[in-house]
C-alpha cells in the first residue's frame, strides 16, 4: 500500500506568487459590485478571468435606485457591465446572455420580460436589447435616452455624456417604434432638430442637448 502524502509543516505549502494579488483584486471587485449572490457572481468572475474576458465588475459602488418593494434588479452600473461584456459580439447568443445575466444575479423574470418585447429569432441584436434595458431603467423615452448616453459615453462622469449621433438615432428610432404614443412625425421632427445641433458638434449628442429640443414627447 502506498504511503499517503503527509503535510509536516507550513513551508511545504506552495502558494503561487500571483495568488495574493488575484485575491486582492477579487475582493475590491466584490466590494464595488455588491453582488446579491456572492458565490454565483464569484463563479462568473473567475470564469471570465480564466478566459481573458471582461469581468462582471462595476466601476464603482452604486447607490440603489429602487426600494426593496419595487426593486427593478437592473441598474445603470450593471447594464454598463453587460455592455462591456457583450457589445463587441453585435448579435449575442441567447445562452451567453442568460449566463452573463445570471452572473450579475439579475432576476430571470426581468430578462424574459425584456426578450418578449421583440422577436429575437436568430440571436439577440445587442444594441436593441441594450435599448430595451435602458427603457426598463428610464420609464419614459427621454429618460431612457439619458441613461443610454450616460452609459455609452466616453466623457468623464458629470460631463456632457456625448455619444455619436448615429448611435443615438438608432436607439431612439428603435424605442420610438415600440412606443404607441410616439408618432413617426414626432420622431422624425425631433431627430431632424437634434441632427442640426449635432452637426455643429462633430455629430455628437449629449444629454444637455435634450433641453433645447422641445419635440421630444
Q: What DSSP element (H or E) covers 1? A: none
pLDDT per position in the chain (217 positions), as tens? 555 565 556 666 787 888 999 999 999 999 999 999 999 999 999 999 999 999 999 998 887 554 444 455 899 999 999 999 999 988 999 999 999 999 999 999 999 999 999 998 788 999 999 999 999 998 889 899 999 999 999 999 888 999 999 999 999 999 999 988 888 888 898 899 899 888 988 999 998 887 666 554 4
Burial class (CB in 10 A: 0-12, 13-18, 19+), 206: buried
Q: Which residues pair with 91 in a beta bridge?
A: 125
Q: What is the pLDDT of residue 67?
A: 41
Question: Taking Cα atoms as reference points, which of 202, 131, 128, 215 lies closest to residue 162?
Answer: 202
Nearest of 82, 170, 184 to residue 131 by alpha carbon: 170
- 86/93 Cα distance (integer angstroms): 10
DSSP-derived 3-state class of residue 201: coil
Q: Which of 146, 130, 140 lies closest to 205, judged by CA?
A: 146
pLDDT attached to residue 125 = 95
Please report the pLDDT score of residue 70 as a whole number.
46
The pTM for the full model equals 0.86
Amino acid at each position: 500500500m502506498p504511503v499517503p502524502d503527509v503535510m509536516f509543516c507550513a513551508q511545504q505549502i506552495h502558494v503561487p506568487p500571483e495568488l495574493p494579488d488575484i485575491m486582492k483584486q477579487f475582493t475590491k471587485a466584490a466590494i464595488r459590485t455588491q453582488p446579491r449572490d456572492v458565490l454565483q457572481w464569484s463563479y462568473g468572475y473567475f470564469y471570465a478571468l480564466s478566459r481573458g474576458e471582461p469581468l462582471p465588475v462595476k466601476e464603482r459602488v452604486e447607490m440603489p435606485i429602487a426600494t426593496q418593494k419595487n426593486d427593478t434588479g437592473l441598474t445603470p452600473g450593471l447594464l454598463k457591465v453587460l455592455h462591456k461584456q457583450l457589445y463587441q459580439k453585435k448579435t449575442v447568443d441567447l445562452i451567453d446572455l442568460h449566463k452573463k445575466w445570471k452572473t450579475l444575479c439579475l432576476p430571470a423574470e426581468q430578462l424574459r420580460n425584456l426578450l418578449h418585447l421583440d422577436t429575437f429569432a436568430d440571436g439577440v441584436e445587442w444594441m436593441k436589447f441594450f435599448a430595451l434595458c435602458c427603457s426598463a431603467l428610464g420609464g419614459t423615452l427621454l429618460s431612457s435616452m439619458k441613461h443610454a448616453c450616460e452609459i455609452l459615453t466616453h466623457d468623464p462622469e458629470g460631463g456632457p455624456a456625448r455619444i455619436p449621433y448615429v448611435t443615438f438615432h438608432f436607439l431612439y428610432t428603435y424605442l420610438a417604434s415600440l412606443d404607441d404614443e410616439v408618432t413617426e412625425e414626432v420622431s422624425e421632427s425631433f431627430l431632424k432638430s437634434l441632427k442640426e445641433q449635432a452637426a455643429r458638434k462633430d455629430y455628437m449628442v449629449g444629454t444637455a442637448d435634450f433641453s433645447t429640443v422641445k419635440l421630444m414627447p
